[in-house]
Amino acid sequence: MYNVNEELKEKIINLNKLLLDKYREIFSLDGTTLRNFIQREIGEVKKINRLSQEELSHITKKGGLLGVDGSNNRVGGAYPHFVEIYQALAKSTIHANEPIYKTDFYSPLCPENENRDNLENPLEEDQSIRSKKLSAIEVEVALEGVRRFKPYAVIMDGSLIRYDIECYDRWQELREECEEKNIILIGVIKDIKTYIIGDLLVKNGLLSKRELFYDRELLYGLLEYGEIIEISAGVTKKAQEGFASLFMRSSKAPSVIGMDILDSQREYLEEMARLVLTLTPQDGRGVPLWIDIVDREVRITDQLIRGLLESYLDREILEKLFISERDKRTL
Amino acid sequence: MKVVGITTQQEVYVGSKERNFRINEFLIIEDPYQGDLIGEVVEAQSYNKYMPLSMHGELADSSVINSLKAIGYNIEEDTIYIAKIRLLNEALYPIESGSDVRIPSFEEVKDLMIRSAADEGLVLGIIKNTDQMAENMDEEYKDLLYTFEEGKLKKQRDIPYIFDIKSMHQYPHIGVFGGSGSGKSFGLRVILEELMELNIPTLVLDPHFEMDFSQISPYLPKEKAKDYKDRFKCLQVGHHVGVRFEDLSRSDIKNLLGASSPLTDAMSNVVDILFRGRESYNSFYNRLKMLAEAQEEGSLDRIQRRIDESANDLDREGWQKRKELFLNYDKTCPYSSVRGIIWRLTRLENEGIFSKDIRPIEEGLHMGKLIVVQGSTRILQVFSTYLLNNLYHKRRDYKDAQYKNTTAEYFPPFIVVTDEAHNFAPKGYEPPSKSILKEISQEGRKYGAFLILATQRPTLLDETITAQLNTKFIFRTVRASDIETIKEETDITVEEARRLPYLRTGDVFISEASLGRTIFARIRAANTTSPHRENPFEELRNKLMEDDNKFLQVIQDKLPINGDDFINVIKEIEKETGETYPITLFEEKLEDLVEKGLLKKKKTPFFNIYTK
């Protein structure tokens, strides 16, 4: 038996109470009421079907799919004594044997990042550099994949707006390339972090508390398998940046995923939603298998990274800079 | 194909993206530092990282996989094949990871696979999964045999398994293990066919009456059929062969009497006292009988009265003799033991054992024939003890004389073969046949006497003998205790032991001491078939049909038969064939034929009419 610290137990009970208090109203919302509200204020709730075999072969004829994903690994301890390795992969369903990889690294200790002592908040700055680096190579492999394979559609892992914010120039290049060549560009978001519906609920006075409720909380279990909500341009900030989005339940799991598409390609929104539905295992977590496959290929194990660092970094550098006390812990 | 992962001096993993591995296949690893090393696949696996086995995680369902295929990506292409390879000879250093792996050519494995020329060894079957290497095999090893797979005769495509019979001189004795239906008896048959082929004197103890080689397998092509009629002889104990009573020594007769169940001390004592050796059956039997009769009288007085009251001289003389026996032996031979010996002796006599001798067997062996001795298990236990002792000592005397530079009559080396060997040499108790088998197993090598012992229960076989079986043929075995025994007694690996319960009929692991490893083989199609091949249920059906046809023929020209006319028809039949039927049976038979649709029945108000 474990010895339970009484205070810890108390705290957890208290946490439960706090959360219950906050969410009581949401949890007690009637499903139909909420659906009606969404129909009225957010967008139409639609049932879609999987693509037929002919439609799929049409996609193949037009160049297949390009899946894009990235991964990062971190070795070391707290700021600034760490190094992060990024890898991005673009893989075409048709040319699966020619994956396009790009890698990059970042460490606050590197000379190019040095003169930041005068910055107000080095940690925040640091965070943004890291995201930028990863986004940048993801966009780069996507761009190369688009140029080399001319796919019918590109599926990025994650929201498209991220690239718009984090590496604007390269993103514009990709966007223009796709629009010009009529290549559909979408992003599939496993963890949606928006709060469009909650915001509107509060604004319309349907909720008494003025707290932040995320869409994933509200949409959990609300949609049936294969249902989508097209978010009307008026209610999302993304529209201003040139994106159209939807929510969908793509598997039997009750959670909901999101999908972005270029505004200029809005006409393909439903077709792409159907494609995502087709490629997602019914009993899965809701992520298209192709994204999972790309994700799996791009991932580097921590052991491999450690091995590489141990082989190619001077022992002195590795020990002094990147081995934290934590790593040496054995207990 | 490349070596992957962590390697050792004995084992490596090999991965391939294109080629699936087969178990027991041979591969050559091209180690850049140690040269070519040969190994055998002991485990084969395939794996697709996108289709993990997961009980509660997601499983890529077929519709998604098909959809992916439709847009150009075939997930199955990402399957990889992995094999665990065990080196035949330990390497000096662990194998270099990343070494190339290839399929060997025949020349490279010839010495490993083939130990004997085809016409000098026993061509027993094929070594499984060697077809790729067999392509450039020497002509002399091609087309030697057929195998039987899924009910069809197949031409030889693999390297043949040829048992080097000469190696028995150093590594004597063979064990054949396998459960019922595993192909054990059939494997034994193939071994015997090959022994006949080489004219090796062989003695088979056949309790199942199945080792008859006169029926040629119907499935073999005509030109390949082999006739063994002149090379073997079936002899039945008590009918063709037996024991010459006059040749029996005291210990022989005790063995014989004790074969079915051990003699008590008292019974053994009776034999010691009453049997004089080199005497006829009748003389010994009469002695026992008269003593028993005297003992039945109960006392000297009463025997004396019998003598006095005898009607003639013959009788008197008889009783006089009984009196002498009574006086000499009554104290030392209790009546019940004498009776017991008489019972056992008459039982053997009734079975005909004492009416014949073993000359036909000796003659057959001298001519290099295969002699099949048939009889019930009990009789064979009795007889084999005597027979093996006799033959083995003849051979032994000859060899000993050779060593001592004296002369003795020539007797050839020979092989003793038996199925259900655990009956002859069981673990835990000591039937007489066991001691001679034990002796041959331990010393036979010196004298050129060898054993081939088959059993479905290796666990029940005497351990000293099992330990002497240098070559073991292991067919499908399901019993856990037997698998344990096999693991202990052979060099079979853990992986192979795990496969034992699932072997196909006729597939066999051959563990040879001379090779130091196990070969996975398939026994060839036999050239002859067992006389017990007919299914008993088919036999029943055939017999019924035969009976019906016979009856139909008998009544053929009597049809139509009127129901009031049975008596006359039966009389006619009796006159013609001599067979007669009771009326009720006759009618029943007709009804039966109507039911089977062979006859028709018309009903009239008075009786039935049976027509064609």
Tens digits of residue pLDDT in B272-291: 888 887 888 889 999 999 99
Residue with token string 């141990």: A310
Q: DSSP string of A114-154?
A: -TTTTSS-HHHHHHHHHHHHHHHHHHHHHHHHHHHH--SEE
Please give the torsion angle defined by the CA atoms of residues B588, B590, B594 and B595, in that order, rounded to the nearest 10 degrees: 30
Query: B318 near B244, Cβ under 8 Å?
Result: no
Write the CA distances from B83 to B6, B11, B80, B214, B559, integer angstroms: 13, 10, 10, 46, 75
CB contact (8 A) between residue A92 and residue B72: yes
Q: Does domain B536-611 have CATH number 1.10.10.10?
A: yes
3-state secondary structure of A160: helix
Which residue in chain A has the smallest CA separation from B58?
Answer: A284
Q: pLDDT value at position A194?
A: 86
Whose tokens are 């065990």? That residue is B86
Question: pLDDT confidence of B56, banded at 50, 70, 90?
Answer: low
Res B162 pLDDT > 90: yes
Residue A142 has pLDDT above 90, yes or no: yes
Sign for the pseudo-dihedral over CA of B177, B183, B188, B194: negative
Tokens encoding B383:
């007889």
Which helix (H) or strand (E) segment holds residue B609: the answer is strand B608-611
**pLDDT value, residue B522:** 94
Among B49, B50, B68, select the one facing A93 at the smallest CB separation.
B68
pLDDT at A124 over 90: no
Under 8 Å CB pairs connecting chains A and B tally to 65
Model pLDDT, residue B431: 80
CB contact, 8 Å: A296 with chain B?
Answer: yes
Q: Give residue-wise pLDDT tens across range A227-258.
A: 999 988 878 777 777 889 999 999 888 889 99
* Residue ranges covered by each domain of chain A: 30-328
pLDDT given for residue A116 in this prediction:
55
Question: Measured between alpha carbons, how far is residue B128 from residues B17, B27, B97, B145, B507 in Å?
Answer: 24, 14, 28, 14, 9
Q: Output B190 or B357, whichever has higher pLDDT.
A: B190
How does residue B13 score in pLDDT terms, banded at 50, 70 and 90?
very high
The pLDDT of residue B219:
83
CB contact under 8 Å between B64 and A53, yes or no, is no
Helix (H) or strand (E) holding A275: helix A269-278
Alpha-carbon separation of residue B553 from B544, B546, B571, B580 (angstroms): 14, 11, 16, 15
Q: In a mutagenesis test of the B interface, which of A52, A293, A296, A303 is the best target, namely the one with the most B β-carbons within 10 Å?
A: A293
User: What per-residue confidence (pLDDT) applies to B594?
Assistant: 85
Answer whether CATH 3.40.50 is correct for domain A30-328. no
Order of strands, sheet of A227-230, starting from the edge strand that comes earlier in the sequence: A45-47, A227-230, A243-248, A257-262, A184-189, A153-157, A65-76, A82-92, A100-106
> Is the confidence at residue B48, as pLDDT, over 60?
yes
Whether the predicted pLDDT of B376 surpasses 60: yes
- Contact A56/B58, CB-based, under 8 Å? no
- Vertex B253 angle, CA B249 and B259, to 5°: 140
- Tokens 């006086």, residue? B327
Which element (helix H / strand E) includes A215?
helix A215-219
What would the two tokens of residue B388 be? 């093996």
Which parts of B310-452 fold into alpha helices (H)? 313-329, 335-350, 359-366, 377-403, 421-424, 432-447
Mean pLDDT confidence for B528-534: 78
| pLDDT for residue A15 is more than 90 | yes
A318 DSSP 8-state letter = I
Please name the amino acid found at residue B365. Answer: L
Q: What was the pLDDT predicted at B310?
A: 85
Give residue B210's pLDDT band: very low, low, confident or very high (50, 70, 90): confident
The amino acid occupying position A56 is L
What is the C-alpha to C-alpha distance for residues A251 and A272, in angstroms, rounded to an integer?
A: 15
pLDDT at B237 over 90: no
Q: In Å, what is the CA distance from B153 to each residue of A95, B214, B472?
A: 46, 20, 26
> Are the beta carbons of B64 and A278 separated by less than 8 Å?
yes
* Cβ–Cβ < 8 Å for B447, B413: yes
Cβ-Cβ contacts under 8 Å, B72 against chain A: 60, 64-65, 92-94, 96
- At A331, is the pLDDT very low, low, confident or very high (cuts 50, 70, 90)? low
What average pLDDT does range B228-251 have in this prediction?
87
The answer to whether the CB of B416 falls within 8 A of the CB of B450 is yes
Q: How far is CA B122 from the centre of its chain?
A: 17
Would you state the pLDDT for residue B59? 61
Dihedral of CA atoms B459, B465, B467, B468 in degrees, nearest 10, equals -150
Chain segment B120-158, per-residue pLDDT in tens? 999 999 998 888 888 888 888 888 888 888 888 889 999
For B330-360, b/e burial (b = at least 16 CB within 10 A) is: beebbeebbbbbbebbeebbebbbbebebee
Note the Cα A183 to chain centre separation in Å. 21
Collect all residues of chain A within an 8 Å Cβ-Cβ radius of residue B18: none
CB-CB contact of B97 with B3 (8 Å)? yes
Q: Which DSSP string corresponds to B239-296?
A: TTB---GGG--HHHHHHHHTSSSPPPHHHHHHHHHH--SS--HHHHHHHHHHHHHHHH
CB contact under 8 A, A290 and B49: no
Residues of B in contact with A60 (CB under 8 A): 70-72
CB contact under 8 A, A278 and B59: no
> What pLDDT is stored for residue A118 in this prediction?
56
Find tokens 């088979």 and name the residue: B204
- pLDDT band at B221; cut points 50, 70, 90: confident
B441 residue type, one letter: S
Spatial separation of the C-alpha atoms in residues A268 and B429, rounded to whole Å = 87
Task: Enumerate the residues of chain A whose CB falls inside 8 A of the CB of residue B56.
Answer: none
For residue A38 the two structure tokens come to 């969404």
- The mean predicted confidence, pLDDT, of chain A is 86
A contact test, residue of B71, B73, B75 with most A CBs within 10 A: B71
* Beta-bridge mates of residue B15: B2, B82
What are B424-482's pLDDT values in tens digits? 999 888 887 888 999 999 999 999 999 999 999 999 999 999 999 999 999 999 989 99
Binned at pLDDT 50, 70 and 90, residue A42 comes out as confident
Q: Pick from A60, A65, A281: which is nearest to B59 by CB?
A: A281
Examine the pLDDT at A115 and tell me if it is beyond 70: no
The predicted pLDDT at position A177 comes to 92
Does the structure's ipTM exceed the value 0.90?
no
Q: What pLDDT does residue A1 have?
A: 57
Q: Residue B65 has which token pair?
A: 């996989």
Please tell me the predicted confidence (pLDDT) of residue B374: 92
Stretch 578-597 of chain B: residues touching chain A, C-beta under 8 Å:
none
Residue A281 near chain B (CB below 8 Å): yes
Whether residue B290 contacts residue B327, with contact meaning beta carbons closer than 8 Å, is answered with no
Instruction: Flag whether residue B117 sits within 8 Å of chain A, measured between CB atoms.
Output: no
Give me the pLDDT at residue B242, please.
Answer: 86
Q: Is 60 exceeded by the pLDDT of residue B80?
A: yes
* A58 inside 8 A of chain B by CB: no
Work out the average pLDDT over B165-175: 91
> Is A282's Cβ below 8 Å from some Cβ in B?
yes
For A152-180, write each residue's pLDDT tens digit.
999 999 889 889 888 889 999 999 999 99
Domain boundaries, chain B: 2-104, 172-242+356-523, 245-354, 536-611
Q: B145 to chain A nearest CA, in Å?
A: 46
Q: State the pLDDT at residue A330.
A: 65
Average pLDDT estimate for B35-60: 77
Instruction: Look up residue A194 and give its two tokens.
Output: 């928006």
Question: Mean of the per-residue pLDDT values for chain B?
Answer: 87
Taking the CA atoms of B31, B36, B38 and B43 in sequence, report the sign of the dihedral they define: positive
CATH 3.40.50.300 fits B172-242+356-523, yes or no: yes
pLDDT score of A125 more than 90: no
Q: Which of A64, A284, A296 lies closest to B71 in CB terms? A: A64
Q: Beta strands B507-512 and B174-177: pairing type?
A: unpaired
* Helix B250-257 vs helix B265-274: crossing angle, to nearest 10: 140
pLDDT at residue A117 above 60?
Answer: no
Q: How close does chain B come to A188, measured CA to CA in Å? A: 17
Distances (CA, A) of B377 to A113, B529, B552: 94, 22, 43
Mean pLDDT value across residues B518-535: 85
Instruction: Report how far apart, in Å, the C-alpha atoms of B428 and of each of B355, B380, B422 are.
Output: 33, 20, 11
**Are B9 and B83 in contact, with CB atoms under 8 Å apart?**
no
Task: Report yes or no: B107 and B135 within 8 Å, Cβ to Cβ.
Answer: no
Kindly report, residue by residue over A74-85, the tens digit of the pLDDT: 888 887 888 889
Residue B68, chain A, CB below 8 Å: the answer is yes
Give percent above pLDDT 70 in chain A: 94
Residue A25's pLDDT is what? 79
Give residue-wise pLDDT tens across range A184-201. 999 999 888 888 888 888
Mean pLDDT (whole number) for B226-249? 87
Distance between CA atoms of residues B590 and B112, nearest Å? 69
Rg (CA), chain A: 23
Q: What integer pLDDT is reported at residue B533 of this predicted model?
A: 67
The model's pLDDT over B377-389, given as tens digits with 9 standing for 90+, comes to 888 888 888 899 8
List the alpha helices (DSSP H) in B103-145.
Answer: 106-113, 131-134
Given this model, what pLDDT does residue A114 score?
59
Nearest-Cα residue of chain A relative to residue B72: A94
